[in-house]
């Protein structure tokens, strides 16, 4: 299954007989919501989806971006015009994290044809519009658990017995800094794998063979003989970017959606600091 689509490929599909539903998920950690940027200009026909209000539940013990209520997410997708048999393309401003979260949410709830615009809006050279679309109601009915999902206990077990990748920046993994959560460090046994290593200088994903080589160097085996793989980050957003990269490389993996923000909300859970155990 294709996971990403180029800007030129998307332009061709938009002009073709079966154009995809477009979702604009612009978001940056700590920045204002992306709606004003969307209002100023977006891909024609794209519907804005708010990561914090519609792709996440209320923050709390489950983390800063826990999964939203499944029924509410389904309603958001139907209002955006998403149907079970309709292709969907998601994009953000270029970092790819928010688009990947939308991709994962749709895939986790059973949609089979959803792709991320490679490079995001930054790589798009086609027309933009300020016109707000009014799509017809879709028929998408979410079926959760269509992709593997980890809770805190599952993440701890995978860090011991499998391979748990930490998608945050290396300095947060080591515990040198922690700008967002209660304490710095990482889940004991997890391996540092920052999302910056998934893309080239242009912000686009590396080719599949290069991604496969990257993950092999981290302990992943793509032939099905290696350990099970899971990914976490600060709050379950950038980890979805890592899952896109793993899927491009042909490697199945699970998401720990609560991630570090949920893990550290419980002061009884252990915290490791320092360099990668490998």
**What are the catalytic residues?**
233
- What are phi and psi for residue 30, nearest 5 degrees? 80, -5
Query: Are the C-beta atoms of 212 and 218 separated by less than 8 Å?
Result: no
CA-to-CA distance for 130 and 11, rounded, in angstroms? Answer: 18
Q: How many CB atoms lie within 10 A of CB 275?
A: 9
The two three-digit tokens of residue 16, written as one number: 């073709």
Angle 153-183-102 from CA coordinates, rounded to 5°: 60
Query: Are the C-beta atoms of 261 and 64 separated by less than 8 Å?
Result: yes
Burial class of residue 216 in the structure, from the number of CB atoms within 10 Å of its CB (0-12 exposed, 13-18 middle, 19+ buried): middle
Look at residue 230 and give its three-state secondary structure. Answer: strand
CA-to-CA distance for 214 and 259, rounded, in angstroms? Answer: 22
**Nearest to 197, CA basis, from 164, 238, 257, 226:** 238
How far does CA 23 lie from the centroid of its chain? 14
CA-to-CA distance for 117 and 132, rounded, in angstroms? Answer: 20
**Nearest to 149, CA basis, from 61, 262, 265, 253:** 253
């Amino acid at each position: 299954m294709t996971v990403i689509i180029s800007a030129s490929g998307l332009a061709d599909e938009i002009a073709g007989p079966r154009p995809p539903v477009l979702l604009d998920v612009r978001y940056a950690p700590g920045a204002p919501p992306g709606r004003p940027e969307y209002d100023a200009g977006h891909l024609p026909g794209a519907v804005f989806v708010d990561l914090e209000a519609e792709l996440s539940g209320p923050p709390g013990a489950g983390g800063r971006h826990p999964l939203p209520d499944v029924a509410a997410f389904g309603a958001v997708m139907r209002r955006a015009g998403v149907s079970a048999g309709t292709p969907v393309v998601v994009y953000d401003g270029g970092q790819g994290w928010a688009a990947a979260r939308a991709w994962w949410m749709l895939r986790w709830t059973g949609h089979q044809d959803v792709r991320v615009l490679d490079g995001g809006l930054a790589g798009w050279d086609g027309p933009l519009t300020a016109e707000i679309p009014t799509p017809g109601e879709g028929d998408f009915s979410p079926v959760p658990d269509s992709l593997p999902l980890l809770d805190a206990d599952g993440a701890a077990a995978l860090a011991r017995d499998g391979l748990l990748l930490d998608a945050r920046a290396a300095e947060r993994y080591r515990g040198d800094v922690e700008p967002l959560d209660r304490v710095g460090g990482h889940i004991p046994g997890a391996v540092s794998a920052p999302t910056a290593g998934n893309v080239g200088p242009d912000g686009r994903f590396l080719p599949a063979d290069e991604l496969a080589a990257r993950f092999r160097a981290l302990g992943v085996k793509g032939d099905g003989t290696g350990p099970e793989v899971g990914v976490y980050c600060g709050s379950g957003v950038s980890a979805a970017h890592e899952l896109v990269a793993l899927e491009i490389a042909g490697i199945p993996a699970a998401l720990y959606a609560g991630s570090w923000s949920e893990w550290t909300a419980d002061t009884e859970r252990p915290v490791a600091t320092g360099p990668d155990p490998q």
